[in-house]
């Protein structure tokens, strides 16, 4: 699943390391999320969206063809 | 936290390890068991040192908490176990046939039993998880 995490994070001027700490995950997890290698759990997706003060749909791009 | 609770288990490992080495020195058990005791002490001591560091170093504590609770790590661990299990079944299935062709019935049977046992475990786990989730 594609997402706008990197774009939003950079726009807010947050380093990957700091963002990982805030989310309570490893930096590698954030990196994998940003490159689309790993899809987050609904809990982490919610946490990320809440942190960015956005909805999950605004951060994560749902593509039916990927199913 | 899980990491904290496991300290008692590691103290137990060290005690058992010391007892096994003691029994080895007294010739009550053979070198296999005293070797096992040494391994238990090694594992226990490393874990205890990690625990002490965990208690005293907040930075290390934070790192460990993230490492243990990181959802990607949990996902990867589950995937790695699944791959390892699948590879084990496949290798043993191949081994069953290969050893039979090589006329080594004992090893062939060992491989066949291993496949059967892991498949039984798989189905028990699957049925258990199906009820749980």
ipTM of the complex: 0.88
Higher pLDDT, B2 or B65: B65
User: How many angstroms separate the CA atoms of A62 and A40, rounded?
Assistant: 13
Which residue of A25, A38, A40, A46 to mutate against B (max B Cβ within 10 Å)? A25
* Lowest model confidence (mean pLDDT) among A15-19, B31-35, B63-67: B63-67
Instruction: Please report which confidence band the pLDDT of residue B1 belongs to, taking 50, 70 and 90 as the band edges.
Output: low
Tell me the mean pLDDT in the region B106-133.
96
Q: How many Cβ atoms sit within 10 Å of the Cβ of residue A40?
A: 25
- Please give the model's pTM, rounded to 2 decimal places: 0.77
Tell me, what's the pLDDT at B3?
60
Across the interface, do B71 and A32 touch by the CB < 8 Å criterion?
A: no
Indicate the domain borders of chain A: 2-66
Tell me, what's the pLDDT at B65?
87
Task: Report the gap between the CA of B73 and the closest CA in chain A (Å).
Answer: 8
Percent of the residues in chain A that have a pLDDT greater than 90, as a whole number: 88
**B63-74 per-residue burial string, b: 16 or more CB within 10 A, e: under 16:** ebebeeebbbbe
Tell me the mean pLDDT in the region A14-40.
95
Q: Provide CB contacts within 8 A for B71, sequence distance 6+.
A: A25, A29, A40, A41, A43, A44
User: How many angstroms separate the CA atoms of B79 and B69, rounded?
Assistant: 16
Across the interface, do B66 and A40 touch by the CB < 8 Å criterion?
A: no
Tokens encoding B56: 């005293």
User: How many angstroms separate the CA atoms of B51 and A40, rounded?
Assistant: 30
Q: State the alpha helices, DSSP H only, in chain A.
A: 5-11, 16-23, 27-34, 42-51, 56-59
Pick from B95, B89, B75, B97: which is nearest to B123 by CA? B89
Instruction: Please report which confidence band the pLDDT of residue B4 belongs to, taking 50, 70 and 90 as the band edges.
Output: low
Across the interface, do B66 and A44 touch by the CB < 8 Å criterion?
A: no
| B71: closest chain A residue by CA | A25
Across the interface, do A29 and B67 touch by the CB < 8 Å criterion?
A: no
Nearest residue, CB atoms, A28 vs list B62, B69, B72: B72
Instruction: Please report which confidence band the pLDDT of residue A67 belongs to, taking 50, 70 and 90 as the band edges.
Output: low
The superfamily in CATH containing domain A2-66 is lambda repressor-like DNA-binding domains (1.10.260.40)
């Amino acid at each position: 699943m594609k997402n706008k995490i990197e774009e939003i994070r950079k726009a807010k001027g947050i380093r990957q390391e700091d963002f990982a700490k805030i989310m309570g995950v490893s930096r590698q997890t954030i990196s994998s999320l940003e490159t689309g290698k790993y899809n987050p759990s609904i809990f982490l997706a919610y946490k990320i969206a809440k942190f960015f003060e956005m909805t999950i749909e605004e951060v994560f791009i749902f593509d039916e063809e990927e199913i | 936290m899980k990491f904290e609770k496991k300290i008692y288990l590691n103290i137990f490992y060290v005690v058992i390890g010391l007892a096994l080495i003691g029994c080895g020195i007294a010739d009550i058990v053979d070198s296999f068991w005293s070797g096992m005791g040494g391994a238990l002490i090694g594992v226990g001591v490393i874990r205890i040192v990690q625990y002490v560091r965990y208690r005293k170093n907040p930075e290390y504590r934070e790192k460990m908490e993230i490492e243990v609770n990181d959802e990607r790590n949990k996902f990867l661990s589950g995937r790695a176990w699944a791959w390892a299990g699948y590879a084990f079944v496949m290798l043993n299935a191949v081994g069953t046939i290969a050893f039979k062709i090589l006329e080594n019935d004992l090893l062939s049977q060992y491989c066949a039993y291993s496949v059967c046992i892991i498949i039984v475990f798989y189905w028990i786990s699957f049925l258990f998880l199906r009820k749980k989730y």
